[in-house]
């Protein structure tokens, strides 16, 4: 997160302020951070069916349906943000 904030601060200099970081240690560090972020998302969403209770009439929505909805929403938002980044990055 701190590295992302540094990159945002460099945007004040325009395109000249951006310097890509393609060293092997940086790529490995980024992949490790991605793995931890994905693991956190998986474990957090796995508990959503246990934590949330959604009443439907006199019954509760099954935990598996809540968990499946949370995963589906996660995938949908990921695709949407990815598409916006790709579309916005081509300008």
pLDDT tens by residue, 30-71: 889 889 999 999 999 999 988 999 999 999 999 999 999 999
Q: Is the pTM of this model over 0.75?
A: no
Task: Please give the residue range of the domain that contains residue 61.
Answer: 47-91
Q: What is the mean pLDDT of the chain?
A: 85
- Choose between 27 and 64: higher pLDDT: 64
Helix residue spans in 13-62 (DSSP H):
24-46, 48-51
Both 22 and 52 in a single domain?
no
Both 34 and 66 in a single domain?
no
CB 45 within 8 A of CB 70: yes
Both 5 and 26 in a single domain?
yes
Both 51 and 26 in a single domain?
no
Both 83 and 65 in a single domain?
yes
**Overall domain count for the chain:** 2
Task: List the beta bridge partners of residue 56.
Answer: 59
CB 10 within 8 A of CB 17: yes
Res 79 pLDDT > 60: yes
Both 62 and 37 in a single domain?
no
CB 50 within 8 A of CB 63: yes
d(CA 64, CA 56): 15
Both 59 and 86 in a single domain?
yes
């Amino acid at each position: 997160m701190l590295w992302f904030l540094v990159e945002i601060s460099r945007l004040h200099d325009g395109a000249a302020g951006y310097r890509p970081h393609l060293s092997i240690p940086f790529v490995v560090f980024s992949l490790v951070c991605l793995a931890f972020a994905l693991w956190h998302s998986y474990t957090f969403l796995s508990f959503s069916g246990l934590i949330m209770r959604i009443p439907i009439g006199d019954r509760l929505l099954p935990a598996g349906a809540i968990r499946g909805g949370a995963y589906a929403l996660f995938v949908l938002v990921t695709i949407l943000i990815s598409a916006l980044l790709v579309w916005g990055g081509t300008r």
